[in-house]
């Protein structure tokens, strides 16, 4: 999607104003995920996976499905820095994504399969557990997330 993984993230934010981390691309262990609940102009959940030195990110309006067979829309958003995995707080009015962010769940994941249009992984969180798939169904950034097991 981009050569500089965090360029879009940085360009959308003023770090003198928001308390979100500026962060950087890291080369380290890549096995955590987070789901952040975000009361922005539209309430949604942000699902993020540590991958390629950043947090690959999707906005999931209705949240990660708990039940096998449920499909939920997941819109891929800009890569976030790894340090965003711990972010909670209020993004000030006028800033991109203004509103409260709270961690809904966090844990480890195991990657099972990965290609350009499909990710399969097992989530081991406190609230969200099981095997999931993300499937890209429409360019440029429309995915579906569903529970396999
Ligand atoms: Mn968000």
Distance 43 CA to ligand 1 centre (A): 8
Distance 49 CA to ligand 1 centre (A): 14
How far is CA 65 from each of CA 49, 107, 133, 140, rounded to the nearest angstrom? 16, 16, 11, 23
Distance 33 CA to ligand 1 centre (A): 15
148: left (phi over 0), alpha (psi -120 to 50) or beta: alpha
Judge if pTM exceeds 0.85.
yes
pLDDT level of residue 3 (50, 70, 90 thresholds): low
**Is the backbone peptide bond immediately before 140 cis, with ω within 30 degrees of 0?**
yes
pLDDT level of residue 31 (50, 70, 90 thresholds): very high
Distance 59 CA to ligand 1 centre (A): 6
Query: What's the CA gap between 32 and 55, in Å, rounded?
Result: 9
Longest dimension (CA), the chain: 44
DSSP 8-state code for residue 128: -
pLDDT of residue 1: 46
Distance 48 CA to ligand 1 centre (A): 10
Return the closest-CA partner of residue 40 out of 24, 18, 8.
18
Query: What's the CA gap between 51 and 149, in Å, rounded?
Result: 22
Answer for the pair 143, 137: CB distance below 8 angstroms, yes or no.
yes
Average pLDDT estimate for 85-112:
97
Distance 10 CA to ligand 1 centre (A): 15
Distance 67 CA to ligand 1 centre (A): 23
pLDDT level of residue 144 (50, 70, 90 thresholds): very high
Query: What's the CA gap between 121 and 110, in Å, rounded?
Result: 5
Answer for the pair 100, 39: CB distance below 8 angstroms, yes or no.
yes
pLDDT of residue 2: 46
Which residues crowd ion ligand 1, with CB under 5 Å?
A: 38, 46
Kindly report the average pLDDT of the chain as a whole number. 95
Average pLDDT estimate for 23-30:
84
Both structure tokens of 127 = 């609230």
Distance 27 CA to ligand 1 centre (A): 24
């Amino acid at each position: 999607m981009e050569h500089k993984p965090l360029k879009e993230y940085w360009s959308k934010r003023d770090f003198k104003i928001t308390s979100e981390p500026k962060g950087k691309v890291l080369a380290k262990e890549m096995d955590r995920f987070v789901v952040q609940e975000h009361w922005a102009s539209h309430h949604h959940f942000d699902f993020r996976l540590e991958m390629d030195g950043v947090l690959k990110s999707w906005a999931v309006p209705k949240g990660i499905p708990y039940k096998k067979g449920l499909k939920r829309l997941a819109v891929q958003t800009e890569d976030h820095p790894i340090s965003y995995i711990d972010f909670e707080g209020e993004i000030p009015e006028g800033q991109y994504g203004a509103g409260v962010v709270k961690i809904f769940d966090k844990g480890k994941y195991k990657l099972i399969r990965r290609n350009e249009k499909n990710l399969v992984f097992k989530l081991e969180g406190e609230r969200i557990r099981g095997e999931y798939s993300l499937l890209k169904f429409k360019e440029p950034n429309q995915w579906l997330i569903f529970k396999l097991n």
